[in-house]
Amino acid sequence: MAAADGRTQGHLDMRARPSKADAGASGPVDVQALAAWFDRHAPWESGFLPLLRAIAARTPHAPAPGTARLPNEECFRIGQQPTMAFAPREIASMDVRDGRFDIRLFGLGLWGPQGPMPLHMTELAYSRAESNQDRTLAHFVDLFHHRALTQFYRAWASAQATASLDRSDETFSFYIASLAGLDPAEAACSPLPTHARYGAAPHLVCEARHPDGIVATLSHYFGVPVDIEEFVPHWIYLTESDHARLGVRGSAATMGDGAHLGEAIPDRQHKFRLVIGPLDLDQYQRLMPHGADFHALVEWINTFVGYEYAWEVKLLLRPEAAPPACLGQPQRLGYALWLGESTSEQPVVGMVFDPEQYCNRSRDFQT
**Three-class DSSP category at 279:** strand
Position 28 scores a pLDDT of 53
> What percentage of the chain carries pLDDT values higher than 90?
22
pLDDT of residue 7: 36
The mean per-residue pLDDT over the stretch 316-324 comes to 84
pLDDT at 335 over 60: yes
Which burial class, exposed, middle or buried, applies to 6 when counting CB atoms under 10 A from its CB (0-12, 13-18, 19+)?
Answer: exposed
Burial class (CB in 10 A: 0-12, 13-18, 19+), 64: buried
Distances 256 to 240, 248, 306, 365 between C-alpha atoms, Å: 19, 16, 33, 42
Q: What is the pLDDT of residues 28-60, one digit of tens each?
A: 556 666 666 676 777 777 788 888 888 888 888
Which H helix or E strand runs over 216?
Answer: helix 211-222
Phi, psi of 40 (to 5 degrees): -65, -25
* 207 three-class SS: coil
Residue 296 confidence (pLDDT) above 50: yes
Least confident of 256-260, 301-305, 352-356: 256-260
Question: For residue 2, what pLDDT is reported?
Answer: 37
pLDDT at residue 216, as a whole number: 94
Collect all residues with Cβ–Cβ distance below 8 Å to 137 and sequence separation of at least 6: 124, 125, 128
pLDDT tens digit sequence for 212-266: 999 999 999 999 999 999 999 999 888 888 888 877 777 777 777 777 788 888 9
Q: Which distant-in-sequence residues (6+ apart) come within 8 Å of 311 by Cβ?
A: 271, 272, 273, 274, 301, 305, 354, 355
- Nearby residues of 138 by Cβ (< 8 Å), 6 or more positions away: 79, 80, 82, 111, 125, 129
CB atoms within 10 A of CB 34: 19
pLDDT tier for residue 11 given thresholds of 50, 70 and 90: very low
Helix axes 136-159, 119-131, angle to 10 degrees: 120
- Rank 20-24, 239-243, 286-290 by mean pLDDT and report only the highest: 286-290
Give the model's pLDDT for residue 187.
77
Give the Cβ contact number of residue 157 at 10 Å: 21
Name the residue ranges covered by the structural domains of the chain: 10-166, 171-208, 211-233+268-364
The three-state secondary structure class of 152 is: helix
Q: What is the full DSSP assignment across 301-364?
A: HHHHHTTSSEEEEEEEE-GGGPPBP-TT--PPTTTS-BSS---SSSPEEEEEE-GGGG--HHHH
pLDDT digits (tens, 9 = 90+) for 58-71: 888 888 888 888 88
What percentage of the chain carries pLDDT values higher than 70?
84
Residue 151 host element (H or E): helix 136-159
| Residue 184, amino acid | P
pLDDT reported for residue 219: 95
The amino acid sitting at 17 is R
* 79-115 residue pLDDT tens: 888 888 787 888 887 787 777 888 888 888 888 787 8
What tens digit of pLDDT does each residue of 88-98 get?
Answer: 888 887 787 77
Q: C-alpha 338: how far from its chain's center?
A: 39
pLDDT band at 352 (very low <50, low <70, confident <90, very high): very high
What whole-number distance in Å separates Cα of residue 345 and Cα of residue 131? 79
How high does pLDDT run on average in the chain? 80
| Number of residues assigned to the chain | 367
How high is the pLDDT of residue 275?
97
- Across residues 307-313, what is the average pLDDT? 92
Q: What is the 3-state secondary structure (H, E, C) of 65-80?
A: CCCCCCHHHCCEEEEE
Question: Tell me, what DSSP letter sits at residue 19?
Answer: P
**Per-residue confidence (pLDDT) for residue 12, from 0 to 100:** 32
More confident residue, 13 or 174: 174
Whether a cis peptide bond, with omega within 30° of 0, leads into 28 is no
Confidence of residue 26 (pLDDT cuts 50, 70, 90): very low
